[in-house]
Amino acid sequence: MPRTTHLLYLHGFRSSPRSTKASLMAQRVAREHPNLRWWCPQLPPSPREAVDLVMRGIADWPRSSMAVVGSSLGGFYATYVTSTTHCRAVLLNPAVHPDRDLVRQIGDQTLWHNPAEHFHFRPEYIGELRTLDVGPLARPDQVFAIIAKGDEVLDWREMTDRYPESRIELLEGSDHALSDFEERHLDDVLAFIDPV
């Protein structure tokens, strides 16, 4: 399998490229893999627009040497990306039923990293999420999921059930943010992606 030349990072709901995990990965890539093309876009609130942005952005990326990392809702989007491109994917506490879970978030929201920045999560976004559910993966061996039993937002059982044939690292504790990401998981993520 070719080594990774292009790496996409997809942040979660109410998050941004300034999230802790995205920042840690960006710093490590810049320091140790300067030839690796890194892209972590700010995703719009509309799931359809978010995926359109991503798929346009990676349209000319080589499918055999690209990879995607997604956290929470970004993990749901990353599942769509790997299903479409068959690229390697690392999912960090991935959302598996966002159409159900985000119904409670309809309305005005703020970004975690900039509470002064507001966006509106619209009811029609729930239907957009449903259309992005890709079902069973054709290449489950291309997916590595890191799932925390201590996730206070998502159910670890649903996450593990969603990826039955993929590599899963099931953590006994931790949390939704994977607060120990740099110390315990970043090396494993990069090893799975196998960047140049």
pLDDT tens for 74-83 read 999 999 999 9
With a pLDDT cut of 90, the percent of the chain lying above it is 85
Residue 195: per-residue pLDDT: 63
CA atoms within 13 Å, Cβ hemisphere of 111: 16
- Residue 183: pLDDT band with limits 50, 70, 90: confident
Q: What angle do CA 82, 49, 62 make, to 5 degrees?
A: 35
* The pLDDT of residue 196 is above 60: no
Q: What angle do CA 149, 153, 157 make, to 5 degrees?
A: 40
Phi, psi of 177 (to 5 degrees): -80, -10
Mean of all residue pLDDT scores within the chain: 94
162 with 140: CB under 8 angstroms?
no
CA dist 171 and 82 (Å) reads: 23
CA dist 74 and 85 (Å) reads: 16
- Residue 188: pLDDT band with limits 50, 70, 90: very high
Domains of the chain (ranges; CATH) run 6-193 (3.40.50.1820)
